[in-house]
A and B are shown apart, each in its own frame.
Chain A
Amino acid sequence: MSKLTTFLLAGTTALFATAAFAQHPHLNVAMQLEPPNLDPTAGAAQAIDSVVYSNIFEGLTRFMSDGSVVPGLAESWDISEDGLVYTFHLHSGVTFHDGTTMDAEDVKFSLDRARAEDSTNAQKGLFASIADVSVVDPLTVRITLSAPNGSLLFNLAWGDAVIVAPESIGEAATHPVGTGAFMFQDWVQGDHIDITRNPNYWGTPAVLETATFRFISDPTAAFAALMAEDVDVFVGYPAPENLPQFEADPRFQVLVGNTEGETILAMNNGREPFNNRLVREAVAHAIDRQAIIDGAMYGLGTPIGTHFAPHNPDYVDLTALSNYDPERARQLLTEAGYPDGFTTVMTLPPPSYARRGGEIIAAQLRAVGIQTEIQNQEWAQWLETTFRGHDFGLTIVSHTEPMDIGIYANPDYYFQYDNPAFQALMSTLNETTDPAQRTALLQQAQRIIAEDYVNAYLFELAVPTVARTGIEGLWRNQPTAAIDLTAVSWP
């Protein structure tokens, strides 16, 4: 009898314990775009990092939600006096999801692979200053630089710099194997990706047992999926006009965070008439940023006057250089030799900031005499014709990579800004490690591109996350594209 009672008691306790702990062991996360593959070291798509960053793959250092860089797989590091040699001490007992050990050889393999001549890494520039990677012992790696680089630790935190294993990297596009707190489980293309908790994780284990990433590109479907509670979290909710409804609904919480997304009206500097600085200045003055932020984003977004994130301490507010002044825009057009304006092509990728913003900008430009022919393009088409083909006059896009002002030093980049002075400034910056000097150089860089009116700088993209009430541990901000679920839990 007593045996039975004990058995029953134990049973009930176990039942309660399970119920309390495993009430919500699963999370359904939605995002707009599906990643084309799952290898962050070989693709540029942000969606790849959204799924795998920190969840599946980790680097030597990593970003936190506030943008700070903290130790990742490296628990500490020493920097030589001259700033040329970084010695990283790795965590011990780290294994990949396939059971193999993560050691200094893997670090050397990953970094050498990323910076190799034939590397397909989308951000090869991150590794440009690395001259040599050598294995000191299984838990120590030495990185030697060709010149001091103040942003090495920052660079190594990117999703493109994660540590991969030579044994499994071949399959990474469809079956990623990393060291993270979650293991890849399944990918049903066109629908969802499943990940499951890594029981052998070296650090703090994830709270969730499993999670599913779903891909919902249509804003109406996104709204319906949340309202029907089919998804628990939507990161990058595509229709800002619906946010007040979610805020008013006790079932949901809305987190509005900042991103590294400088949303710009890019002008083709390599082509008439935008190769004329006066024309670009005219365009910049013809545009009313606040109307675009209100009209396209329902107020979400911070105006910017240069290609730099306003929440960065080195940001300079240069919005006054391109204040809304249609009268001045008309004068400048006349000065530039276009008293009657001109007609150009504006290509628009799918996001609402571009499609809606484009309609508003077209109306604002029309008011000063610039006629635009709008071409809505899908991402693949945009990448092909606008980004790679340089076949556009104007386009709207958000540059979500962190600290990417360096793209202005590449004359072959899609907006084709070619200024040797700026390029020299960027190489000086890369060799500068002194924080004060770096700040001065960065601010100078921001001024040059703002005064050259390379592009019309609109606003810093905000990222709205809609989640079920009580879910904790989600990133509010997006210092890099990531949906880090390692600390996420249900109440």
Chain B
Amino acid sequence: MRLPRSLLLGALLTALFLGGAALSFVWTPYDIELLSIPDRLQAPGWTHWLGTDQLGRDILSMIMMGARTSIAVALLAVGIGMGLGIPLGLTAAARRGSLLDEVIMRGNDLIFAFPSLVIAILITAVFGAGAMNAIIAIGIFNIPVFARLTRGAALSFWSRDFILAARVAGKSSARISVEHILPNIANLMIVQGTIQFSLGILAEAALSYIGLGAQPPTASWGRMLADAQTLASIAPHVALVPGLAIVLMVLGLNLMGDGLRDLLDPRIRVDRT
């Protein structure tokens, strides 16, 4: 079986940023907490591969540290979405048609009805700007995505013979959900998780762009972009680099998500083999 090309490219891009973020825990080319005004706005070159920003910090180091912030925020936000959304979806599917199902799904519809970024802005504006509140805000909007997907996918299994067999064997619906349904819908969740992860990165960048994400001195791609706005005509690389970082990371995750779907989707898999 051949791996989809998009998966390879996506995984490569994602690995690049994940690797950079991981590396930043032990090493960055320069210390981003040390400012050096005389060295500011240097173009990319040998000493600073991606140049320096308006405060003389090494942009490559900032990107590495910023990747860490982006990934951490998006990962935790997706974690919240999966951690709450999947159990809710499984419960709703197990109790399909009941009042509980209605309550769960209409509650999710309610969250889904709000424009997510606007509410995220509201949450961070009310509870204060910061990475933690950004995570919570983005996380909340991931819940209905996973809850709906889980319920829909799980429902199609509840009428299958092997589930009926399990029920006849006397397993509780909770056990069936965990032992039989979850493994069967896991691939879907992984694909959706990748997509949501990329949306989380974008949301984090958007929030920090408007000053509601991680606060300085924590590096963040969105804020780097915001700070570079007035410099675009003098030192374009200061804006281009974080912009490209966001684009490449999101592109990578989307390609990987597409590739994973191709790889994991049983119907497509049958076609390929």
Contact = CB atoms under 8 A, between A and B. Distances in A.
A276 interface: no
Nearest to B227: A356
Interface in B224-241: 229-234
Nearest to A227: B233
B43 interface: no
Contacts, number: 57
Interface string B26-45: 00000001110110100000
Given A220-B232, A374-B217, 15 more contacts: A220-B229, A239-B230, A242-B230, A242-B234, A291-B35, A295-B35, A295-B56, A356-B55, A358-B216, A360-B37, A363-B34, A363-B35, A363-B217, A366-B217, A375-B215
B37 A291 contact: yes
Contacts of A294: 37-38
Contacts of B230: 219-220, 223, 239, 241-242
B33 A363 contact: yes
B215 A241 contact: no
A347 B160 CA distance: 60
Given A363-B217, A376-B211, A241 B35 contact: no
Given A294-B37, A295-B40, A359 B234 contact: no
A362 B33 CA distance: 9
19 contacts: A239-B230, A241-B231, A242-B234, A245-B234, A291-B37, A294-B38, A295-B35, A295-B37, A295-B54, A295-B55, A295-B56, A359-B35, A359-B216, A360-B35, A363-B217, A366-B33, A366-B217, A373-B215, A375-B215
Nearest to B235: A241
B217 A359 contact: yes
Given A295-B35, A295-B37, A374 B55 contact: no
A220 to B, nearest CB: 5
Interface string B50-64: 000011100000000
A375 B231 CA distance: 24
B18 interface: no
A475 to B, nearest CB: 24
A463 B239 CA distance: 26
B216 A362 contact: yes
Nearest to A363: B35
- Across the A-B interface, the 5 shortest Cβ-Cβ residue pairs: A239-B230, A295-B37, A220-B229, A219-B230, A363-B35
A241 B229 contact: no
Nearest to B128: A375
A294 B233 CA distance: 19
A376 to B, nearest CB: 5
Query: By CB atoms of chain B within 10 A, which of A219, A363, A374 has the most?
Result: A363
A374 B233 contact: no
A396 to B, nearest CB: 13
Nearest to A242: B230
Nearest to B230: A239
A245 B35 contact: no
Contacts of B56: 295
Contacts of A376: 129, 211, 215
Nearest to B232: A220
A136 to B, nearest CB: 56
A362 B233 CA distance: 28
Chain B: interface secondary structure? loop
Contacts of B35: 291, 295, 359-360, 363
Contacts of B55: 295, 356, 359-360, 363
B215 A219 contact: no
Contact of B229 (A219, A359, A360): A219
A241 B229 CA distance: 11
Q: Which residue, B33, B34, B56, B230, has most C-beta atoms of chain A within 10 A? A: B230
A220 B35 CA distance: 24
A242 B234 CA distance: 8
A278 to B, nearest CB: 25
A356 B217 CA distance: 11
A362 B234 contact: no
Contacts of B33: 363, 366
B28 to A, nearest CB: 16
B253 to A, nearest CB: 29
Given A295-B37, A360-B55, A376-B129, A241 B234 contact: yes
A219 B40 CA distance: 20
A22 B230 CA distance: 35
Nearest to B212: A376
Contacts of B234: 241-242, 244-245
A373 B128 CA distance: 12
A439 to B, nearest CB: 36
Interface in A239-262: 239, 241-242, 244-245
A241 B54 contact: yes
Contacts of B128: 375
Residue from the set B38, B211, B216, B232 with the largest chain A CB neighbour count within 10 Å: B216
A391 to B, nearest CB: 13
B265 to A, nearest CB: 44
Interface in B183-232: 211, 215-217, 229-232
A10 B129 CA distance: 68
Nearest to B55: A295
Contacts of B38: 294
Contacts of A362: 216-217
B233 A242 contact: yes
Contacts of A295: 35, 37, 40, 54-56
A359 B54 CA distance: 11
Interface in A174-197: none
Interface string A330-359: 000000000000000000000000001011
Contacts of A239: 230
Contacts of B229: 219-220
Nearest to A372: B217
Interface in A254-304: 291, 294-295
Contacts of A245: 233-234
A353 to B, nearest CB: 14
A219 B232 CA distance: 12
A358 B40 CA distance: 17
Contacts of A374: 215-217
